[in-house]
Structure formats: structure tokens, C-alpha cells
Amino acid sequence: MKILLAEDTRDLNRAVSAILTHEGYDVDSAYDGEEALRFLSSGSYDAVVLDIMMPRLSGIEVLSSLRKMKDTTPVLLLTAKAEVDDRVAGLDAGADDYLTKPFAMKELLARIRSMTRRRTLYSAEELHFSDITLRSESLELAAENAVRLSMKEFELMRLLIANAEKPLDTAFLLGQIWGAEEDATEDTVYLYISYLKSKLKAVDAGAVINGIRGGSYTLTRK
């Protein structure tokens, strides 16, 4: 399995690269955004790990360019900041997950395994409800038009479609989608539900998500 690691702190890049290689991954290392984009333009990867704060091009700019190329490779963003704005910017640009520095290598490895495993499991599946289609291969939500979802958004929408017209409480969603991730809270669920509401509106869907913060959420027809 081939991974691109883009991290400008050379000691950290070398350390993470060595551990990923030890775990059996084939790793290409980039030390700035332009170098990362060159790798992505000329090669194919199973996953990408991008630091947000890099010289020449930021991780967000690299990610935006990747998605403009219609490349759906799973991307994990690394950030030294814990503010919600960083997460929102990354997810809006098409990130599948994020991890705040400093991080434990076990967690980074678990996030990479999770992203690549889910991509494989969902690769041949399409789900439908009302006039919306959830395309697993491209991670797209489609109705009148289509938008790409992050992996977490996809998993959440998949769960809502599978349980359409049924209320799903926040604790259930948190456990199913985020599992043991320590930084995930009720507010995390609310944030992702907000993303999905916006994207349903963007594709002019005939379905909406109803519910209240900290309570239950239900996918229903308009």
C-alpha cells in the first residue's frame, strides 16, 4: 500500500516515514506543498497524509488542487492547532480526516488503516433515499447535482440513509462513526450533521436531516 507523507519538519517526516515503512507501507516523502503536488500529479496513492502548515503551498491548497483533479484518494490532515476553523477549512476542501499534533503513532496508523479499509469496503456500493444517491466509489452525494463528501461525512450519511425515517441519537452516531477517538464529542456530531445539511441543500435534495443538538437526528423526505 502506497502512502504520500507531506510534512515540512524533517525530523518528524523521517520518523513517521520510518515507522510507516516498518509497518509495511511504501512511502514517498515531501517537504513542502509544491513537492507534494508534484508527487500527486505524477503518481497514484492509497492514502495521503498532509501537514496543513507547509511552505510554498499549504496542505489545504494541495488538497484543493487534488480534489479539482477529481482524485478521491483518502487524505488525512495534520495540524498543530486544535481550533474548529482549521478542521472546517480542511473538511470543506475535501479532507477525509484530521489529526492534531502532537499525536501518537498508534493513532496515526489506526486512522490510515481506517481510511483505506473503508474505501475498500464501500468501493462497489450505491445507496438511495428519496431522490438522493450516495456513491461509495467516488464518495459523492447526488440529487440535482453532486458534491463530494469526506470519509466521515460519507459514513454518517450512509448510516442515516440505512436508517432513513428513524431517529438516531447522538451517542449512537458518535459510537458508530468516531468509535474511541478521544477528541470526538457531541459537538463533533453536530458539526458533521451541519456539513451534511449544507450539502443536501447544495445538491437540491428532496431529503432533509431533522433534529436538535445533542439529541436525535432523522433523515426524512421534505
CA distance 149 to 136: 10
Q: What is the mean pLDDT of residues 67-76?
A: 84
Sorted by where each starts, the structural domains of the chain and their CATH numbers stand as 2-121 (3.40.50.2300), 126-221 (1.10.10.10)
**pLDDT given at position 101:** 87
Tens digit of each residue's pLDDT (9 = 90 or more) over 105-131: 999 998 898 887 766 555 557 889 999
Note the pTM of the prediction, 2 decimals: 0.63
CA distance 32 to 135: 33
**pLDDT given at position 121:** 55
DSSP string of 25-91?
-EEEEESSHHHHHHHHHH---SEEEEESS-SSS-HHHHHHHHHHTT----EEEEES---HHHHHHHH
Beta bridge partner(s), residue 133: 128, 142
CA distance 171 to 155: 15
Starting at the edge strand found earlier in the chain, the sheet holding 26-30 runs 26-30, 2-6, 47-51, 75-79, 97-100
Q: What is the mean pLDDT of residues 92-113?
A: 88
- Residues of the chain with pLDDT > 70, as a percent, come to 95
Task: Answer yes or no: is pLDDT of 203 > 70.
Answer: yes
With bands split at pLDDT 50, 70 and 90, how would you rate the model's confidence at 38?
Answer: very high
